[in-house]
Amino acid sequence: MIITVEQEKPVSSASRKSHARSRTGCSQCKNRRVRCDEQRPVCLNCDTSGLSCNYAAPSMPLRERRKSYLPGEQQPWAVAVKPAPVALPKPINICFPCPIEMPLKSMELLQYFHKAGSNNEVTLQCKRQNVLASNIHHPDALRNTLLIAGFHYLINGPRFSDFKPTLLLHKIETIRSVNKWIQLSDSKAYAMCVRQISTLCFSECYLGHSRAAETHLNGLMKFLDIYCPLGLANPTEPSNTTELSIRYIMLTYSFISICKSRVRVEIVDVGEGATPEVMAAMHDRFKFEAGGVDLKLRSMELLPYFFAPLSSMRGFHDIDASPMIDCLLSLTEIFQLRAPVEDERSVQQILLIENTAVKLTVAAIETHVESMPGQDDRTRKKKSLRGLDGSWSGLFIASHLYVHQILGLWTLDAPLEVKFHSHILGYLSWDLAKSDSCLEQGSIVASNFWFWKAFVGAFSLARHIETDHAVALYPLRRQFVKFIYKWSECAGIKTWKEAREILIGIVWPKSAFIHGSLAEMIWYESQVKIHDAEG
């Protein structure tokens, strides 16, 4: 086969026409890889082909993006200055200098407690943080705050093991401090002992160690003998520090009574070797109450007010008794659901559901905060519209006696400890004598409120003498009988029916109850014996 020269020449492929690269052309031309004439708003190619023409936003060239300084960020005449090395800041210690040692996780525990209570109202939250800020400068107040913070985390925190060694250390240091202060014959040392032991009482109750709590409570009764000696006909007015310590003792005793009321027959001490199941069951009992955990945490967050250093030498303010009276009204309604032969367990279950017992404790602590000296008058609550104003101590004692002796809801009608009963009634007698001017000032509500406190004190004395034959209480009984007669003369009321209506107007069982005849006997006894003494 003969191959010609033309056949040996390779066939050249059709070459594509080259175009200059267009960086600013429209999107359609870039995708089609054709040259764009860049006419706006529509280029010629898109107009001919009937396509939508659009131009992308301008972007920075790649060579500019690789520069350490973008255009305009550094002026050409700027002098580069090398910054001097700066030392890293150290963590700020909010308690520096601390009056006590803060080992382990003490600082983290204090910071946790400082942030607690964020759900409270703004005014109360600011007051609380101010109190905590003042507590960190006093050894006993700071130690008490750390103990309360530990038990707050025990209930609210995810893992108690995080702060368990820290809490145990401060408990041991508290006991050592108390043993050292007991040897000092100093009123200031006694006040610190009372506050530390009261906090330990709370802590042991939270953990369910009833025997340890009772031991601490017996120690508190001995200190109460120092602050309020028995047998004083005209006790002197206590100082602010003494008053604060007495209030903490009374709150502690009431709290232990509430804890006892949750058990049918007797308190069983779980001991240090309690199983996790037993401990969990003890803490789970609060979950049966509506909002019980929240109220319990709220009460613990306000406890530092009972051992905070007082910033003013002025006396305590009178408080509005309405919140506590409302709690007593709720407890009275619960009490009236119980028939004389009904099983006690149903009443205890109602108490757990209604959660009134915890509400009463919270109301008592919040009113104590309102009565603190040195509080800003602009942030204090206004006086009661119902006219139920008075001292916190007198109201708290009367409320505790009303629930314990008249309603019988604390500790299942168990009698009060005689020494404690004598102390608080002596204090209530002093408070009534100090405030008896309301009987002659024309305020009917204030006068009736004064009579209610006096009658509750007389009733509790009569019940205690009747059940326990406590001879030591007879002098106080005569004193309270005189109070009732004095009110009767000022109010012009002579019959029990009228007096009972006055009591119901404050808080009193409306229906007949098992001790109703004793109340009537006390009234007529006050009328007859006084007349016999005058004759």
DSSP secondary structure letters along 128-148: HHHHHHHHTTSHHHHHHHHHH
Angle at 157 between CA 152 and CA 163, to 5 degrees: 75
Give the number of other Cβ atoms within 10 Å of residue 167's Cβ.
Answer: 22
CA distance 330 to 328: 5
Strand spans (E) along 371-465: 389-390
Residue 323, CA distances (Å) to 169, 250, 438 in order: 38, 18, 21
Q: What is the dihedral of CA 467, 417, 288, 355, to 10 degrees?
A: 80
Judged by DSSP in three states, 319 sits in strand
Residue 150, CA distances (Å) to 107, 256, 345 in order: 12, 19, 32
Give the number of other Cβ atoms within 10 Å of residue 187's Cβ.
Answer: 14
pLDDT of residue 270: 45
Which two structure tokens, joined as six digits, stand for 213? 């709590």
Could you tell me which of 360, 449, 470, 460 has the C-alpha nearest to residue 402? 460
Classify the C-alpha dihedral 275-280-281-282 as positive or negative.
positive
| Weakly modelled stretches of the chain, pLDDT under 50 | 1, 3, 5, 77-79, 86-93, 95, 231-234, 263-275, 277-283, 286-290, 339-341, 353, 378-379, 412-413, 532-535
CA distance 142 to 112: 14
CA distance 109 to 70: 49
Residue extents of the structural domains in the chain: 106-371+390-434
pLDDT of residue 246: 85
pLDDT of residue 265: 36
Q: Measure CA 391 to chain center.
A: 21
pLDDT of residue 279: 45
User: Are the C-beta atoms of residues 213 and 206 closer than 8 Å to each other?
Assistant: no
CA distance 59 to 50: 27
pLDDT of residue 354: 56
Q: What is the dihedral of CA 45, 51, 57, 62, to 10 degrees?
A: -60
pLDDT of residue 376: 55
Whether cis (ω within 30° of 0) applies to the bond prior to 229 is no
Which two structure tokens, joined as six digits, stand for 266? 């007797």
Amino acid at 395: L
Which two structure tokens, joined as six digits, stand for 416? 């009060």
Give the DSSP H/E element, type plus range, for residue 256: helix 240-260
Judged by DSSP in three states, 153 sits in helix
DSSP state of 44: H
pLDDT of residue 486: 94
Which two structure tokens, joined as six digits, stand for 219? 């120690």
- Helical H runs in 309-410? 322-336, 344-354, 356-371, 392-401
DSSP state of 228: S
Give the global pTM.
0.73
